[in-house]
Amino acid sequence: MNTPIAVAVSGGIDSLVAAHLLKEEGHALFAVHFTTGFEPPAGLPAAALPDVGALQEMARRLGIALYRVDLTREFKREVVDYVAGTYLAGATPNPCLVCNPRIKFGALLQWAGQKGARSLATGHYARVRRDADGRCRLYKGADPHKDQSYFLARLGQEQLQRAVFPLGGLTKAQVRAWAQRHRLAPAVSEESQDICFIRGGRYPEVLALPASPGRIEDVHGNLLGEHQGLHRFTIGQRRGINRPAARPYYVVRLDRERNRLVVGSKEDLLAPACRVTGINWVLAPPEAARRVATRVRYRTREVPATLTPIDERSARVAFDAPQSALTPGQAAVFYDGDEVLGSGFIAAPGE
């Protein structure tokens, strides 16, 4: 019996081509589209979100069933509450790294399994390979401009065993060419963005986080003014400080204990190291210090560093060259060449 694969479809070209590739390979499939409760009201334009009719037509053309799954409650608990709590703790959240293991390869994969699917396919640009011991290893996608391994670095072995990434070996240009050649029309006109549930605003405004005014100080402790809530700022931010100076101010630190916004020059953002906690290791954690390439933001390249374990889930990362705007709450993902070793959350820069 050909056990089906569930394909998570957003309505975009990537998930559409992923489904078509699997169909061409002869796999039994069904499509799943999940809702989060952050979809716009009916009748409002949303170029990056599909309507039900467009998704159904897309599935019909593929010759597969489409199921819509309401994950509003799970999304609120696992992602929205995490985002709000992280901001209120004076850190900057990274919702995609939480959504992938807890929602897509968590609640959605569980739902698909109850429908008989052995695995879940998505349109991510990443690759999974099994080694001689049967363990799954996670690698970058073949397209360096679209690689999304950073956002998948918190998947565990059980999730990777059931993950399918048909686009991992393709470039975006090849995906577009495939869609054109096979006359595949996506159900949306824009690509989805990393921040999938915040449209037309910022986290603090959309989530209505409470304001708590406090002092704005420079790195020497001089009072410069008053802020209207630390959750409105993130490390490295320049806009919104509104303090005239000969050189622009940047957010250097969010002092949650004293409710202070600490600002300084661009040079003040540099740090030689950081502490990383809550690490998810794809395989076993290292027992001693080792060399890694570390990416501290999705849209930056990884840089050489030395990782020294503190315990199984935390480490000190010392960079070969000081890094700018190391942001508590953001993810640090560790690589060995194209292979993802693990990822954790930056807890404190400079340590």
Report, as residue numbers or ranges, the catalytic residues. 99, 196
Torsion angle (degrees, nearest 10) of CA 246, 249, 252, 255? 110
Torsion angle (degrees, nearest 10) of CA 101, 32, 81, 239? 90
Which residues, including other chains, have CB under 8 Å from residue 181's CB and lie 6 or more apart? none
Structure tokens at 159: 């999730």
With contact defined as beta carbons under 8 Å apart, do 290 and 266 qualify? no
Q: 94 to each of 141, 194, 278, how far by Cα in Å? A: 20, 9, 13
> How far apart (Å, rounded) are the C-alpha atoms in residues 295 and 282?
16
Matching residue, tokens 């011991």 = 133
Identify the CA nearest to 191 among candidates 67, 14, 20, 38. Answer: 14
Our measurement of the distance from residue 351's CA atom to the centroid of its chain's CA atoms, rounded to an integer in Å, reads 25
Our measurement of the distance from residue 48's CA atom to the centroid of its chain's CA atoms, rounded to an integer in Å, reads 18
> How far apart (Å, rounded) are the C-alpha atoms in residues 24 and 184?
13
Structure tokens at 154: 């918190």
Residues in the chain: 351
